[in-house]
Each structure stands twice: as C-alpha cells, then as structure tokens.
C-alpha cells in the first residue's frame, strides 16, 4: 500500500491483526502532559503512547532546534520499549490534525521503516464514529528494533545555507510549513526571531487538509502543490521539525520522491546569529 494515510474504518477492520502496533501520539505544546493524560483517560484499544518530547525528540541543546531529531539508536530503543520492531505495521494517530502522528511516521521513514501510516482525522473522529475506546493500558512486550537510517532524508544546516544562498540554482526548493503570518514575520509566539529562511516559499501544513481535519484527496493535493516540480528536491521545515511532517506526508502521497526534512527548522536556523532572516512574502 503506497498511500501513507489510512481511514479509521480501515484501522477498525485490522486492529487485532498480529504485527499491528497502534501508536497514540496526542500532544499539546502548551501542556506537554496533556496528551498522556488524554491517553490514560481513553484511547484506541491496544494503543501504546509515544510522547513528543520523551520519545520522538532528542534533548534540546544550543543548536538543533526545539525538537531535535533523535539519535537513531536511542529512537530505536524507544520504539522497542513500545513493542515496535522493524516488521511491525505501525498506525499512528493524534487529535491535532496528524501533526504529531506524522512526526512518528517521518521518523520511521528515517529509520528505514516503510510499513508506517497515519490515521486520517484522528481520535475525535474515531470516537464520533462510535468505534471502541478503552482506558486499559495494554501489556507491552518489548521488541528489538534494528534501525537502518536513511540520512538522505535529513537536511543539515550547511546544506540549508547553500540552498538559501543559491536559490533556484541549487536545484532544491525550501518549503516553510508554518502559518503565513509567522512566515512573513508578523506573528511569532514560539521562537526568538520572526521571519523565514531567505528563499523559502510558504505552504501552510494545515492547507493539506479539509475543515474537518481529513486529508485532501490526491487530486486536491496535486492542485495545492501545483507550483512545485516533482523532479526537484524539496526540503520542508517549520518551527522545530514537527509541523513540516504533515507536508512531507502529503507530498509523498502524491508522488514526490525527493522530500527531505530540515530537522532543526527555524528554531535551529536562528540559533546561529550569522544566519540571515527574511520577512514579508517571498
């Protein structure tokens, strides 16, 4: 199955199949314990909980952004504790439009794990459909996860500087996945500097979805990203490397082959005082 997005009904039909791991990735940046509390109240039966800060990010340092990409070995250890192995079929969900579920999806791609999916619409849609929920925490049998990292999916600061300076001549395009007012530098509530990386274009990650939180169809996504050349390298970034992941998911859904993530994103870029900052439209 090439489509990285599955429906709640698809998951309902398979939720007790051997080898399936359901990962609850609910999270709130303003209250890091809210997602875990929501999971403890109720979740999809059998789901394990993965925390953005503790499981899906490395510790914050001077550089690397607010949610650094974790070391492959440490990430593999977290996945193994959750009962995930390289042979697992992983379906992630959250209740924030796929924001955190797609972070797990991307990290699994980075580790060479192709059997990873995001459940469309999220947990509220699952409950609204009358599908089963529970407060029972499953007994998790630890697994051995053997990562096969794909460093080509990750862009580093030196490459971003070159692409920003060279523009189209670099052969790559930078996509800023944040809301347009943050991209333009008019409203910044998360980071110390406002604006965007010079040369980047803006595709807000939420514009890949309908008002009800469901992902747009392939036809709609092709229209949304019609200004991009599928043969060019695309590097997505956001504030900290999280909300760029739904864009990476959507681009993969419509056949973009050369999509990379700038893991540290804007919060890493501005940690280097010498890096230029652009404001306004591209």
Average pLDDT, the chain: 96
Looking at residue 166, its pLDDT comes to 94
With beta carbons less than 8 A apart as the criterion, state whether 202 and 176 touch. Answer: yes
How would you write the pLDDT of the chain (282 residues) with one tens digit per residue? Answer: 589 999 999 999 999 999 999 999 999 999 999 999 999 999 999 999 999 999 999 999 999 999 999 999 999 999 999 999 999 999 999 999 999 999 999 999 999 999 999 999 999 999 999 999 999 999 999 999 999 999 999 999 999 999 999 988 899 999 999 999 999 999 998 999 999 999 999 999 999 999 999 999 999 999 999 989 999 999 999 999 999 999 999 999 999 999 999 999 999 999 999 999 999 986
Q: What angle do CA 234, 60, 51 make, to 5 degrees?
A: 80
Q: What angle do CA 143, 146, 149 make, to 5 degrees?
A: 140
Among 25, 76, 221, 238, the active-site one is 238
Looking at residue 2, its pLDDT comes to 80
**Alpha-carbon gap, residue 93 to 99, rounded angstroms:** 9
**Alpha-carbon gap, residue 228 to 53, rounded angstroms:** 32
* Tokens, residue 273: 């005082």
Looking at residue 203, its pLDDT comes to 98
CB atoms within 10 A of CB 189: 7
Strands 233-237 and 154-155: unpaired
Among candidates 135, 75, 63, 138, which has minimal Cα distance to 104? 75
- Count Cβ neighbours within 10 Å for each residue of 133-168 and write b for 16 or more, e otherwise: eeeeeeeeeebebebeeeeebbbebebbbebbeeee
| pLDDT tens-digit map of 149-178 | 999 999 999 999 999 999 888 999 999 999
Is 238 a catalytic site residue? yes
Show the domains of the chain with their CATH numbers: 5-128 (3.40.250.10), 151-269 (3.40.250.10)
Looking at residue 1, its pLDDT comes to 56
């Amino acid at each position: 199955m090439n489509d990285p997005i599955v429906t709640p009904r698809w998951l309902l039909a398979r939720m007790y199949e051997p080898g399936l791991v359901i990962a609850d990735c609910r999270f709130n940046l303003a209250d890091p314990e809210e997602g875990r509390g929501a999971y403890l109240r109720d979740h999809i039966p059998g789901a394990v909980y993965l925390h953005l800060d503790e499981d899906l990010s490395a510790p914050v340092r001077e550089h690397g952004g607010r949610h650094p990409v974790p070391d492959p070995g440490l990430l593999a250890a977290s996945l193994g504790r959750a009962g995930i192995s390289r042979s697992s079929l992983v379906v992630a969900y959250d209740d924030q439009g796929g924001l955190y579920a797609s972070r797990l999806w991307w990290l699994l791609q980075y580790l060479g794990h192709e059997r990873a999916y995001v459940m469309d619409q999220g947990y509220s849609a699952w409950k609204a459909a009358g599908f089963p929920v529970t407060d029972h925490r499953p007994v998790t049998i630890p697994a051995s996860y053997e990562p096969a990292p794909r460093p080509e999916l990750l862009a580093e600061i030196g490459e971003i500087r070159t692409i920003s300076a060279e523009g189209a001549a670099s052969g790559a395009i930078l996509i800023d996945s944040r809301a347009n007012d943050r991209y333009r530098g008019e409203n910044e509530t998360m980071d110390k500097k406002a604006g965007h990386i010079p040369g980047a274009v803006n595709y807000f990650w939420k514009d890949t979805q309908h008002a009800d939180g469901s992902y747009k169809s392939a036809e709609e996504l092709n229209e949304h990203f019609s200004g991009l050349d599928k043969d060019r390298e695309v590097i997505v970034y956001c504030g900290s490397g999280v909300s760029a992941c739904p864009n990476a998911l959507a681009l993969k859904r419509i056949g973009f082959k050369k999509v990379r993530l700038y893991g540290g994103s804007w919060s890493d870029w501005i940690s280097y005082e010498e890096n230029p900052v652009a404001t306004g439209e591209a």
